[in-house]
């Protein structure tokens, strides 16, 4: 399994053991959009979500979810309302654990971003650290990434 977690961030999709184990870094993006009006201008509250996962024999055994919630007026990002990065499924515990660090969010141009560093730990020994990120824009597009550190 060490090689499996070391593959996080390598490519969009990587398989092991003839396809029985799959590491999927592709986009599973979700957008939750709500419109409201403040003093005659339309403001949208949008949540961009990005997931990545590891499958063994077709069963998702490890999954992370990153999200950033932001307000925009179709011209610019007005505010980041919230953000987080979580492990949404971990069927590998207690042998495999993880830790998060450096969670942050910012606005740049017409996009809201959030990143965090995820360290995978095997029996108490750190084996791989990756940066996971998510972004959403004023056009209600979303995406994300995984980069090895």
Q: In angstroms, how far is the first alpha carbon of the chain from the final one?
A: 19
Strand order in the sheet with 125-137: 96-108, 111-122, 125-137, 142-148
Percentage of the chain modeled with pLDDT above 90: 37
Q: What is the mean pLDDT of residues 10-26?
A: 62
For residues 31 and 68, the answer to whether their CB atoms sit within 8 Å is: no
Bridge partners of 35, per DSSP, are 44
| pLDDT tens for each residue of 81-129 | 999 999 999 888 777 889 999 999 999 999 999 999 999 988 888 988 9
Alpha-carbon distance values, 94 to 7, 81, 98, 121 (Å): 21, 33, 10, 10
Q: How far apart are CA 52 and CA 13, in angstroms?
A: 10
Residue 43 has pLDDT above 70, yes or no: yes
pLDDT number for residue 54? 83
């Amino acid at each position: 399994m060490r090689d499996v977690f070391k593959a996080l961030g390598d490519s969009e999709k990587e398989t092991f053991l003839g396809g029985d184990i799959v590491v999927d870094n592709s986009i599973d993006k979700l957008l939750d959009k709500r419109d409201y009006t403040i003093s005659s201008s339309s403001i949208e509250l949008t949540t961009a979500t990005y997931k990545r996962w590891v499958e063994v024999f077709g069963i998702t055994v490890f999954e992370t979810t990153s999200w950033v919630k932001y307000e925009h007026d179709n011209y610019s990002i007005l505010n980041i309302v919230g953000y987080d990065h979580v492990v949404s499924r971990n069927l590998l515990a207690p042998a495999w654990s993880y830790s998060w660090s450096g969670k942050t969010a910012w606005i740049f141009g017409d996009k809201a971003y959030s990143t965090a560093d995820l360290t995978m730990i095997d029996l108490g020994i750190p084996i791989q650290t990756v940066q996971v990120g998510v972004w959403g824009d004023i056009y209600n597009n979303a995406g994300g990434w995984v980069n090895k550190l």
